[in-house]
């Protein structure tokens, strides 16, 4: 396949440009280490320097966030207990070209991003944007050192627990994050999860798991794990030489 060969078909769209509209909503895994064979030609995925990137939807286009927005969103999103994050206006004053272009769209007010609805709203309520997080292909469907890994969590007495970590679980769900991610990547709407006391149904669109016996419902979240954040753009190229090096099967090493 094209992704296995590292071949990209069309002109590449880059994370540091404003327009990030792409055919396949993923990060090109080969672009991270500048190994996409057709760097100068169009790629159906976004070219980036990390395994994730955040975008917003405006006037029928997906636009790339600049680095300061990107880091703020990602740091919060990786904390499974957080529902949202405030991006203060004082943090949005970068003078790089992309930030200047974004300020004309987003305005100068502080913004709050809500992760369940994937909406970003200005504090005065006058502006609302759809947002999304792009990543490299999930490790459940593509084995590569720069694939994305996701953890699945359920809320247990106000604490978020990861499926499969039985030493912490009061519900004793007999499945793992990897098993759930495989089902999710196959596009299934739900899956059965067993416990000692009976079956539960995990509903992917609603991100909830419900007991067939008691009808008790518990919230579920999918968040990235094993994902490093580089605070400063200049660190990216240097860091990516050894980033995630502990994983296997780098196809171009």
pTM over 0.75: yes
Q: How many Cα atoms sit within 13 Å of 104 on the Cβ side?
A: 7
Domains parsed from the chain with CATH numbers: 2-137 (3.30.720.50), 152-225 (3.30.720.50)
pLDDT in tens, the chain (253 residues): 344 444 444 467 899 899 999 999 999 999 998 888 766 677 889 999 999 999 999 999 999 999 889 999 999 999 999 999 999 887 666 667 888 888 889 988 899 999 999 999 999 888 999 999 999 999 998 888 899 999 999 998 889 999 988 665 567 899 999 999 999 999 999 999 999 889 999 999 999 999 999 999 999 999 999 877 766 555 444 334 333 333 333 333 2
Collect all residues with Cβ–Cβ distance below 8 Å to 186 and sequence separation of at least 6: none
């Amino acid at each position: 396949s094209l992704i296995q060969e590292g071949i990209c078909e069309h002109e590449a769209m880059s994370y540091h440009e404003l327009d990030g509209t792409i055919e396949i909503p993923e990060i090109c895994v080969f672009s991270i280490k500048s190994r996409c064979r057709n760097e100068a030609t169009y790629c159906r995925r976004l070219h980036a320097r990390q395994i994730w990137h955040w975008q917003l939807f405006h006037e029928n286009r997906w636009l790339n966030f600049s680095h300061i927005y990107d880091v703020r969103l990602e740091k919060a999103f990786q904390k499974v207990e957080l529902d949202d994050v405030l991006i203060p206006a004082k943090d949005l004053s970068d003078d790089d070209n992309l930030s200047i272009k974004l300020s004309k769209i987003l305005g100068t007010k502080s913004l709050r991003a809500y992760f369940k609805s994937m909406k970003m709203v200005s504090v005065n309520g006058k502006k609302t944007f759809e947002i999304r997080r792009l990543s490299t292909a999930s490790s459940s469907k593509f084995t590569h050192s720069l694939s994305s890994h996701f953890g699945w969590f359920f809320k247990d007495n106000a604490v978020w627990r990861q499926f499969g970590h039985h030493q912490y679980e009061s519900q004793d769900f007999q499945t793992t994050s990897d098993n759930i991610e495989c089902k999710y990547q196959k596009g299934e709407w739900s899956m059965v999860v067993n416990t000692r006391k009976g079956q539960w149904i995990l509903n992917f669109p609603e991100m909830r798991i419900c007991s067939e016996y008691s009808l008790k419902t518990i919230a579920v979240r999918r968040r990235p794990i094993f994902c490093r954040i580089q605070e400063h753009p200049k660190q990216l190229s240097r860091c990516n030489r050894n980033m995630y090096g502990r994983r296997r099967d780098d196809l171009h090493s």
